[in-house]
Amino acid sequence: MRQIWITKKGAPEVLQVKEAPDPEAGAGQVRIKVKCAGINFADLAARAGIYPDAPKIPCVVGYEVSGVIDQVGPPAPVTAPEGAPYRAAPPSDLKVGDQVFGMPRFGGYTDTLVLPAGQVFRMPAKMTFEEAAALPVVYLTAHHMLMFTGYLRPDSRILIHSAAGGVGLAAIQLARTRNCEIFGTASASKHDYLRAQGVAHPIANEGYIEAIRSIIGKDGGLDLVLDPVGGPSWGDGYDLLGPAGRLVCFGFSAGLKDKTVSWLSVIGAFLKIRKYSPIKLMDANKTVSGVNMGHLFDRLDLLRPQFEALIRMYEEGAIKPTVDKTFPFSEAAAAHHYLHDRKAKGKVLLTP
């Protein structure tokens, strides 16, 4: 198999394609011949050396793939070893030839991937491999933030930071199903595009607080803020919330100002994080929540129903993954540069 490795911490050029023997599917597993692999911000952070959950470098990252099953392992045992905690594996009827989504925690930058059957889903018949690789992480993150953690009510006012990115566009589509008034931050060159996606108020990254206040008024407030930026941005979002408003934090891009790590930026952004006591939250009737999908992979009981709901929404036409550009494995560095340079409108993919 061919894989894209992070060979050392650094700029995108540290990514290299390497050969390795094909893995074999074990008990309760399936093997996927990968057609497309998604890129996420966590991959960029891992390569720069500031993502604490990433495997020790050198490593292969990647959270999502699409492809075709070419091998199915024997059934998983129905009992755990003596003394081990027991959680039954979900029943699987996956078979060779099925077109599927796959959700590894890491290791998705590959052309051959073995996964537990519980982390694999059949693709809808009308879905392309590109759409399938663009859906799992960003839509599951957006759905979990909006519908699970954020409890998005109809007709809410919602602010989505980095609105033209993968999670941002997924959140926009989901918010539209609840008839929300959407504010979205992005560079000015992307504002017309965001309007076409249903964002009522595209706003520049600089000066967005004053821009929002000019629309909602001094006494108005937002119902939900989705913020992957971190640092002082989280405090600003909290201040924009109205009664019963929710701030959902799901990233820390403020710590990655360049294509290589700047510890000065990381420490500076970290020191500007505001702290809240339960008393303050109670008095303000506000909620601050966090979402890290990488820490939920052992809670398939939470994730599978949400993923199945997203598949139904796709089949009904309520959502449609946006693919901006695909890069071959040999151009993985260019793909990372493309994301660092904030050129993408939607998802960027790698193809073996």
Q: What does the alpha-carbon distance between residue 30 and residue 109 come to, in Å, rounded to a whole number?
A: 17
The pLDDT tens digits of the residues spanning 81-106 come to 555 544 444 557 999 999 999 999 99
Assigned token pair, 175? 């918010």
Q: Which residue has the tokens 């998983």?
A: 76
Residue 257 has pLDDT above 80, yes or no: no
Annotation: CATH topology of 2-135+321-351: Quinone Oxidoreductase; Chain A, domain 1 (3.90.180)
Contacts 24+ apart (CB under 8 A), 125-131: 126/315, 127/314, 129/35, 129/36, 129/66, 129/67, 129/99, 130/36, 130/66, 130/321, 130/323, 130/326, 130/349, 131/314, 131/320, 131/321, 131/323
In SS3 terms, 5-56 reads as EECCCCCHHHEEEEECCCCCCCCCEEEEEEEEEECCHHHHHHHHCCCCCCCC
User: Which numeric CATH code is attached to 138-293?
Assistant: 3.40.50.720
Q: How confident is the model at residue 78 (pLDDT cuts 50, 70, 90)?
A: low
Give the pLDDT of residue 87. 46
% pLDDT > 90, the chain: 83
Residue 194 has pLDDT above 90, yes or no: yes
Give the pLDDT of residue 339. 95
The pLDDT tens digits of the residues spanning 295-347 come to 998 898 999 999 999 999 999 999 999 999 999 999 999 999 999 998 999 99
What's the mean pLDDT in 256-260?
A: 70
Q: Name which of 15, 117, 13, 129 is nearest 61 in CA terms.
A: 15
Give the pLDDT of residue 253. 83
- Is there a contact between 203 and 239 (Cβ–Cβ < 8 Å)? no
The pLDDT tens digits of the residues spanning 301-315 come to 999 999 999 999 999
The one-letter amino acid code at 275 reads K
Give the pLDDT of residue 261. 65
Assigned token pair, 308? 């199945």
- Mean pLDDT of the chain, nearest integer: 92
Domain residue limits, the chain: 2-135+321-351, 138-293
Give the pLDDT of residue 86. 42
Other residues' Cβ atoms within 10 Å of the Cβ of residue 280: 12
The pLDDT tens digits of the residues spanning 24-41 come to 999 999 999 999 999 999
Assigned token pair, 10? 């650094």
Q: Kindly report the pTM of this predicted structure.
A: 0.91
The pLDDT tens digits of the residues spanning 104-163 come to 999 999 999 999 999 999 999 999 999 999 999 999 999 999 999 989 999 999 999 999
CB-based contacts of 69: which residues, under 8 Å, 6+ apart? 30, 31, 32, 33, 94, 95, 96, 97, 98, 100, 120
Give the pLDDT of residue 81. 54
